[in-house]
Amino acid sequence: MPENNNKYKKIGVLTSGGDSPGMNAALRAVVRTCNYYDINCYGIRMGYDGLINDHIVELGPRSVKNLINKGGTELKSARSEEFRTVEGRKKAAETIKKHGIEALVVIGGDGSFTGAMKLYEEQGVPFIGIPGTIDNDIFGTDYTVGYDTALNTVAEAIDKIRDTATSHNRVFFIEVMGRDAGFIALNTGIATGALDILIPEEKDSIEDLFQSFDNAKKKGKTSSIIVVAEGDKLGGVYDLAKFTKMKYPEFDVRVTVLGHIQRGGSPTVADRVLASRLGVAAVEGLIDGRCCVMAGMQSSKIVFTPIEEAIKKHNEIDKELIKVSNILSMQ
Ligand SMILES: Nc1ncnc2c1ncn2[C@@H]1O[C@H](COP(=O)(O)OP(=O)(O)O)[C@@H](O)[C@H]1O
Ligand SMILES: O=P(O)(O)OC[C@H]1O[C@](O)(COP(=O)(O)O)[C@@H](O)[C@@H]1O
Ligand SMILES: [Mg+2]
């Protein structure tokens, strides 16, 4: 029998915040690792709402069969307003106590980790986080679970838009997800040969955008794709399209908002492997007595990062990527 130093007998697992492809693979890994170490695993449905409302089911290795390839989250997710209150978190702690759950694995993003930290500080419930969000906006891991799948979904969609953009000599503004982060926009922009990429981390100006159009005209380009992160500060895609049309009345401008298709679909191999490794690491981390950390992957190695750092610090946008995009798009 493998060693379970911390003597945990019951661990709960939940998915919270925006779902992401690979959350199911992480769940499967957590459940099966618990079983390996002779720990009973409890699935909490609907994120923190499930803790508050006692929606808890015991999960064994067979309960997570046929899940590794499925998008979404079998446990379901929620953005729980009640959990943001001290009262809500008290109710959550009562449910945890009632079931004898001793620690949690929280699969989610920065918001979910903030909530878990408060639950620990106020109610003493230990936890380890697994970064599950398409946004890749969490410090302490090179990639979050779901990001790679989202990149591929976006690239496939933009490739299709390129076909019609080229056929009609059109300019397309394409909005991709990322409330506060430009990772999806920057990487898919490079991958799809965007003329310009607008992200919240960079100070863009409309003049810079117009300069890209002027340059494209000079180079003889007849259609263009501009990838815009949802959280870009310059304005939304519709305003950008309007201003562009005002400046260049001869342009045939269209807008596509890719929206929630970016969050669905079967996870890529990279996401499945990442989720599986982090799921095992999270349970083993708890067994080793770790708390209030996030299991992440840096340079292909498991790294545990204090949750405050994971939330507060930010993965910097790699300036080299911006340079690559600029060099390649302006030729
Ligand atoms: N400051 C906070 N205090 C307590 N709970 C929070 C806080 N921020 C987020 N949460 C909880 O975590 C949930 C998920 O957070 P959210 O920001 O929506 O997604 P993500 O975890 O993907 O970033 C919220 O709905 C809420 O229940
Ligand atoms: O599905 P919702 O609630 O409309 O949220 C949309 C947001 O969720 C995300 O897809 C993921 O964000 P989180 O991981 O923080 O939940 C963002 O990119 C997007 O802005
Ligand atoms: Mg978030």
Please give all residues whose CB falls under 5 A of ion ligand 3, grouped by chain where several chains appear. 109-111
Q: Concatenate the DSSP letters of all residues of 67-116 into one string.
A: -TT--S-TT-----SGGGSHHHHHHHHHHHHHTT--EEEEEE-HHHHHHH
> What pLDDT score does 5 carry?
64
Query: What global pTM score does this model have?
Result: 0.96
> Which residue's alpha carbon is nearest to atom 12 within ligand 1?
112
The rounded distance, in Å, linking the Cα atoms of 228 and 189 is: 9
Q: Are strands 40-44 and 56-59 parallel, antiparallel or unpaired?
A: antiparallel
Distance 132 CA to ligand 2 centre (A): 11
Which of 73, 133, 176, 260, when mutated, tests ligand 2's pocket best, judged by the most ligand atoms within 8 Å of its CB? 133
> What pLDDT score does 4 carry?
67
Distance 179 CA to ligand 2 centre (A): 7
Q: Which atom, in ligand 1's list, is nearest to the CA of 79? A: 25
Walk me through the domains of the chain, giving residue ranges and CATH numbers: 10-146+267-312 (3.40.50.450), 148-263 (3.40.50.460)
Distances (CA, A) of 20 to 129, 133, 148, 297, 322: 15, 5, 10, 17, 26
Strand partners, 225: 172
Distance 59 CA to ligand 2 centre (A): 27
| 6: amino acid identity, one letter | N
Encode 83-108: b = buried (16+ Cβ within 10 Å), e = exposed: beeeebbebbbebbeebebbbbbbbb
Name the strands in the sheet holding 301-306, side by side, starting at the edge strand that comes first in the sequence. 56-59, 40-44, 10-15, 103-108, 127-131, 293-298, 301-306
Whether this model's ipTM surpasses 0.90 comes out as yes
Distance 146 CA to ligand 3 centre (A): 13
Regions of the chain short of the pLDDT cut 70: 1-6
Which of 177, 186, 261, 311, when mutated, tests ligand 2's pocket best, judged by the most ligand atoms within 8 Å of its CB? 177
Q: Which atom, in ligand 1's list, is nearest to the CA of 82? A: 27
For 205, other C-beta atoms within 10 Å of its C-beta total 9
Is residue 112 a known part of a binding site? Answer: yes
Tokens representing residue 329 in the block: 């798009």
Which of 75, 77, 79, 177, when mutated, tests ligand 1's pocket best, judged by the most ligand atoms within 8 Å of its CB? 79
> What pLDDT score does 6 carry?
62
Q: Which of 38, 49, 54, 135 is catalytic?
A: 135
Is 135 a residue of the active site? yes
> What pLDDT score does 230 carry?
97
Q: Which atom, in ligand 1's list, is nearest to the CA of 108? A: 21
> What pLDDT score does 204 carry?
86
> Which residue's alpha carbon is nearest to atom 6 within ligand 2?
18
Q: What is the DSSP letter of 177?
A: -
